[in-house]
Amino acid sequence: MKPDSILEKEQQIKIHWANPDPGETGCMGELLWAVYKGEGIAEVKNIPFLTNEFGLHDLVRIEIDEKDHLEIVEVVNRVSRTIHATWEIQSDPMPQVCGKCYPEAVEEHKDNIQEVDKENWRRIRTHLKSYQGVSVEPGTIGLISISVPKSMDDESVAEMCDACPVSLDYQLEE
């Protein structure tokens, strides 16, 4: 069955990226918000945490799998890059909660989150969002995904991250 047979253009949908190597996280994949553009193409509307193969606003081809999930099968057009970063936290670390969104994970562990970590998140978010075309989403306390324009070179990304008022540990694509 083709996506056009069940989806309308500009419909908000959830798409799935299958993790080819679950490794130590054990996460088999990631659900992402997208907007259907037609002809099997969707625009990703949030920043992935488990991959940097595609990112926010990128166009991906989707197909309906045997379980009727909308599965990402190909990246069609990249307009962004995804950078994953961490910072040192004061709180007890939250366990990796595969399959739970950030607000649910935080709610379960809110009594363990120190005010300093909340303030550091605010400082990081404010700093990164001050750069044009940059978006950021929290994964868990101490972990973020950053979306930068594809045109932003490694040196500029490093300068942005290194200028952050909270020290970030990040790795650029190889």
Which pLDDT score, from 0 to 100, does residue 150 have? 94
At 118-155, the pLDDT tens digits run 888 899 999 999 999 999 998 777 889 999 999 999 99
The domain 81-170 is classified under which CATH number: 3.30.70, 2.60.40, 1.20.1260, 3.30.2450?
A: 3.30.70
DSSP H helices, the chain, are 102-109, 115-129, 154-162
Q: What is the mean pLDDT of residues 29-49?
A: 94
The DSSP code for 5 is G
Q: How far is CA 7 from CA 34, 35, 57, 84, in A?
A: 12, 10, 19, 32
Query: Strand ranges (DSSP E) for 19-105?
Result: 29-38, 41-44, 59-64, 70-77, 80-86
Sheet harboring 143-149: ordered strands across?
A: 135-140, 143-149, 80-86, 169-170
Are β-strands 29-38 and 41-44 bridged in parallel, bridged antiparallel, or unpaired?
antiparallel
pLDDT tens digits, 64-107: 988 888 999 999 999 999 999 998 887 665 555 554 444 555 56
What's this model's pTM, rounded to 2 decimal places?
0.82
Question: Quick one: CA dihedral 98, 102, 106, 112, positive or negative?
Answer: positive
Give domain limits for the chain: 3-78, 81-170
Q: What are the residues whose beta carbons fall under 8 Å from the beta carbon of 126, sequence distance 6 or more?
A: none
| pLDDT confidence of residue 68 | 83
Higher pLDDT, 149 or 1: 149
Mean pLDDT of 38-62: 94
For residue 92, the SS3 value is coil
Average pLDDT of the segment spanning 108-117: 68
